[in-house]
Amino acid sequence: EKLLEYGFPRTYIELLKNRGITRLNPVQKSAVKKGLFNSMNLLVSAPTASGKTLIGEMALVHNTINKDMIGLYLVPLRALASEKYDEFKELEKLGLRIGITTGDYESPAEYLGRYNIVIATYERFDSLLRLKPKWLNRIGVVVIDEFHMIGDPERGPILEMIIAKMLSSQAQIIGLSATIGNPDVLAGWINAELVDDPYRPVELVEGVYDKKNHVIVFRDGRREKIIHRIGGAALNISLQSISSGIQVLVFVHNRRKAEEWAFKLSEHMGLFKHLIDKNKLSEILEELKESPSRLEREKLEYLISRGVAFHHAGLSSVARRVVEKGFRERIIRAVFATPTLAAGVNLPARRVLVSIKRYSPMRRQTVNIAVYEYKQMAGRAGRPTYDPYGEAIIYDASSLSEGLKFIHGKLEPITSKLNNERSLRIHVLALIASKDANTLEEIINVFKNTLFVAEYRDLAYLKSTIDIVLDDLLEWGMIESIGNNKFIATKLGLITSITYLDPLSVNRYLENIKDNVGDLYYLMLITQTPDYLRSKPYISNKLVELYEEEALELSDEDIIPEPPKTFEYYDYYVWLQSFVQAKMLHDWINEIDEDEIAEKYGVGPGDIYSARDTASWIASALSRVEKVLGNTVRANNLEKLSIRLEYGVKEDALELVELQGIGRVRARTLIKHGIKSLKDLASTPPSKIESLPGFGSRLVRSLYEQLREKGLI
């Protein structure tokens, strides 16, 4: 057995064998050779599906078995964390304890110390580094998935700070990344050996659609004439691929187009309908019924029955899962997806159609995407073990030569995004609050380990931004100077850092809050924070401007905060935008139907979900701030608002939604039938509840079980 020589227990070798892994592939071997099991820091830069996860996994298993230390696996998104958790759960067969932590930024989570392997998002681990649970010094290895995120304007600086801190610990650092342009620079930064291998288990054949001659020209010299003419190139190629039994994943930069094209293609799917496995189809459509939106259900049911679907961030999580599953099980033959798919789940396809053009709202024109973005999408082509090779085809190049520029293009280098006020004020406050650094020198010292400094070999730029940031934090009352260039965090600074909010969010809130204001006022203070604005759902300019008059009237009546006093149109526009966002959330907590909200604001159920998720977190965090400042009235208002945002309910339903299985719709049904509290429910016979719409016998049994646990029966 080849794998035995690495000293793994037989049970693990067996487990790998069951997954079809009997020997290491070239990238993995190279990682081992460069010190994977000898505590060397490694940066693995290799194509998608080349087996990078296993490199991380083996390091984690090795670390646990030989050192009894904790291993961390860090990912950028919550969805990825649960995907990895499901994957690693299998290791429990070896007696390893696997844990996951993604939300709840305020909990030091000492209990995580019981696990051997912990999966976390970057953000969550960053918050843990501030809270300092005891187990931090028992971390033996940190695997960082999607290492190229270091160049992301939002998550990059967080990752950079995590690494800067871990570099001065004992832990082995293993970065995993899709191919990057400057791996040597990044590897140098983290003192890592570079494992830079172009090996791909499934060969990738790239091609460009030449629209003049209606032909796909592949890199390997093959040509494929496109004969179908049902619409644009993406549609014609899709139909032709499906006709030859090839599944396609089509990347489209715009949601509306993705949906439109899916419907257009579905008109031509009559011939394929009989090929779809009826049992699997009905199973999938059954799952789709769990979607919270009627509109979404109807659209997708229609499409999926014809073997087509779309996929974008506006979908509910149920619908996203259904589309992914349907595609994997080959019920869905073509998916029109926005590029968020390429950054998130693992959904490979034999043939991927890539768009290299995107509309830039800033520049008000179509622009070409980066080579790096193209490669990310193209890398999705080819399913390991199923396909002999994968094909990535650029379908919207203006000319053959433009397309070839992407295929042969050099990847852009990844650079630090740390030097901006937002990132630095967050991290400087965190350093002072957690007492990791208290003087300017100590602060600067931590930043010495960042990629920014590795790139510029100079701290001057950073220093000048840090100066600005320190002034702001002093002015906002979050830190105090205690002489000798020494700073300590105030009560406000401490709690701000613990909540994980941007200090500016807290400052803006405190400057604008008043007593005796209503829900809409609070909501708008929330939607005006940078923490909300950075991930807000898109609402079109046209729609926003439609609400201008209403916004001005409401601000005259003090129902919402005043517009900014600057003369910048941009600031005014953000105020208007925040108003419309707040209005949308206000509809949500007043139990307006989700489809109605979606239609009114031009958003999808997935957008509503993420907007209320963020808003609920901010409300709860601000509530903690108010509590520390001693304002219990406001703290309570915000706490209530946070729960209402989470469930989308009016105040009278807050008690009922405590029960698992009761959401906004069922709570309202109960209240309409006179059941207004848990006590009311406990004294109602189950048979009566079962007769209400939406209450099956299994749910009712679970409800009474929960009431019993609460001691109410």
Which residues bind to ligand ADP, rule: CB under 6 A?
19-21, 24-25, 28, 48-54, 346, 384
Q: Which is nearer to ligand ADP, 108 or 384 (CB)?
A: 384
DSSP 381: B
How far apart are CB 553 and ligand ADP at their closest, in Å? 53
Q: Which is nearer to ligand ADP, 120 or 128 (CB)?
A: 120
- The Cβ of residue 64 has, within 10 Å, a number of other Cβ atoms equal to 22
Q: Which H/E stretch holds residue 265?
A: helix 255-266
How far apart are CB 390 and ligand ADP at their closest, in Å? 12
Chain centroid to CA 625: 26
What is the C-alpha to C-alpha distance for residues 249 and 353, in angstroms, rounded to an integer?
Answer: 6
Q: Which is nearer to ligand ADP, 49 or 580 (CB)?
A: 49
Residue in the structure block whose two tokens are 């019920």: 331
Long-range CB pairs of 84-89 (<8 Å, 24+ gap) are 84/53, 84/119, 84/145, 85/119, 87/53, 88/57, 88/60, 88/117, 88/119
CB 656 within 8 A of CB 670: yes
What is the C-alpha to C-alpha distance for residues 102 and 122, in angstroms, rounded to an integer?
Answer: 9
How far apart are CB 343 and ligand ADP at their closest, in Å? 13
Chain centroid to CA 250: 21
CB 168 within 8 A of CB 449: yes
Helix (H, G, I), strand (E, B) or coil at 218: strand
Residue in the structure block whose two tokens are 């919207």: 396
Q: Which is nearer to ligand ADP, 346 or 512 (CB)?
A: 346
How far apart are CB 56 and ligand ADP at their closest, in Å? 8
How far apart are CB 102 and ligand ADP at their closest, in Å? 20
Angle between helical axes of 460-475 and 503-512 (0-180°, round to 10)? 30
How far apart are CB 416 and ligand ADP at their closest, in Å? 24
CB 336 within 8 A of CB 311: yes
Q: Which is nearer to ligand ADP, 175 or 314 (CB)?
A: 175
Task: Determine phi and psi for 503, rounding to 5 degrees.
Answer: -50, -35
How far apart are CB 57 and ligand ADP at their closest, in Å? 8
Q: Which is nearer to ligand ADP, 28 or 706 (CB)?
A: 28
Token pair, residue 484, equals 């000798």
How far apart are CB 81 and ligand ADP at their closest, in Å? 15
Helix (H, G, I), strand (E, B) or coil at 423: helix
Burial track 151-184 (b if 16+ CB lie within 10 A, e otherwise): bbeebbbbbbbbbbbbbeeebbbbbbbbbbbbbe
How far apart are CB 342 and ligand ADP at their closest, in Å? 12
Q: Which is nearer to ligand ADP, 85 or 509 (CB)?
A: 85
Q: Which is nearer to ligand ADP, 20 or 685 (CB)?
A: 20
Q: Which residues pair with 389 in a beta bridge?
A: 203
Q: Which is nearer to ligand ADP, 346 or 702 (CB)?
A: 346
